[in-house]
Amino acid sequence: MSAIADTSHWRSTGAWRTLFRDQPTVPLVGLLALLVVAIEIAEPGIVGPAWVGVIVRAAIPLAILAGCQTLTMLTGGIDLSVAAIGSMAGFVTATLIHSPGGAVQGVVVVLIVAALAGAVTGVGVGVFRVHPLIMTLGMSFVVLGLSNVWQLQTVQTGAGVPPQLRTLGSGGFLEVFPYSLVVFVPLTLLILFGLRRTGYGRLLYAIGDNPIAARLSGARSWQVLVVLYVISAVLAAIAGLLVSGLSNTASVSLVDGYLLSSVAAAVIGGTSIFGGRGGFGGTIVGSLILTVLNALLIVVGLPEPSRQVVFGGIIVIVAAAYTRVTAES
């Protein structure tokens, strides 16, 4: 940040800056509240328990995928394979619906496949030091291609999203509490606890902040990274299952639309793409912001193309404002 000449000005804004830097979720929750107020003004009466349920249900898969980005970004990486892995998970589960084990077998199979894909990615990034962007991009090609091959193999047998997944993804208790919270809340607690209270979580921050210092302090970064990309792939598969349940469709490109939003949600949530800074709490708020923003743009009646333009513009503005506020002065 540029030097601030006027010291009195610095004193008045300094406290705010410190607050925002240390508690990045505070301004984000403010922004979220602002968006909710805006949508209520745009269409009075829309905000209610049912509406909140719809928003939360739509935001959950995005938040999980953004969680993959958050975890990998903490180490200075990124995971572009989440969309391919998520789509694969939803799709393969749907094709296995008539198998002896039913939906349960399908879910177990896709979680194992996802973990394998994540392990390969992790070895590439951790052991062979391939740039994460490229490694996960290559992995997404591999997974997408193999899903397509699988699609041709199973085109004869019937396929459909298992009813259990449909209930989990799109159902809700009293139309207010989406059932997907049953998956999301434990995952969130696990990630938050893991990042804040476990040695593994601290290692992720350490590697992202200063890989050399982390190595000199005895961290075996390749092991940390292999585990990290396995976690990320499994989370992506879970999110993919929820998306297929939410939309009641399964295709090899189902989750593709979420990929870039997941990166955006993590960044808006205050996770630094350079590593070492951020957390999952902000990411959840970031996902809610993007979901509400999208709902607002629909309520206002903008057609799809203009919505994209405004969406992109707002991502830049929020990210810029964020960088200004939290920049080290």
Distance of closest approach, residue 316 Cβ to other proteins, in angstroms: 5
Residues lying near other proteins in the complex (CB under 8 A) are found at 78, 80, 124, 128-131, 133-135, 137-142, 144-146, 148-149, 151-152, 260, 263-264, 267, 273-274, 304-313, 315-316, 319-320, 323-324, 327
Q: Which is nearer to other proteins, 102 or 312 (CB)?
A: 312
Q: Which is nearer to other proteins, 39 or 80 (CB)?
A: 80
Q: Which is nearer to other proteins, 93 or 294 (CB)?
A: 294
Residues 6+ apart with CB under 8 A from 278: 24, 70, 73, 74, 266, 269, 270, 271, 272
Report the sign of the C-alpha dihedral through residues 225, 229, 231, 232, in that order: positive
Distance of closest approach, residue 35 Cβ to other proteins, in angstroms: 17
Q: Which is nearer to other proteins, 165 or 285 (CB)?
A: 285
Q: Which is nearer to other proteins, 242 or 264 (CB)?
A: 264
List, as one string, the DSSP characters of 93-140.
HHHTTTSTTHHHHHHHHHHHHHHHHHHHHHHHHHTS---HHHHHHHHH
Q: How far is CA 75 from the centre of its chain?
A: 15
- Give phi and psi for 253, each to the nearest 5: -125, 20
3-state secondary structure of 177: strand
Distance of closest approach, residue 100 Cβ to other proteins, in angstroms: 27
> CA-CA distance, 320 to 273, in Å (whole number)?
14
Residue that the structure tokens 């509240």 belong to: 33
Distance of closest approach, residue 308 Cβ to other proteins, in angstroms: 3
Distance of closest approach, residue 309 Cβ to other proteins, in angstroms: 4
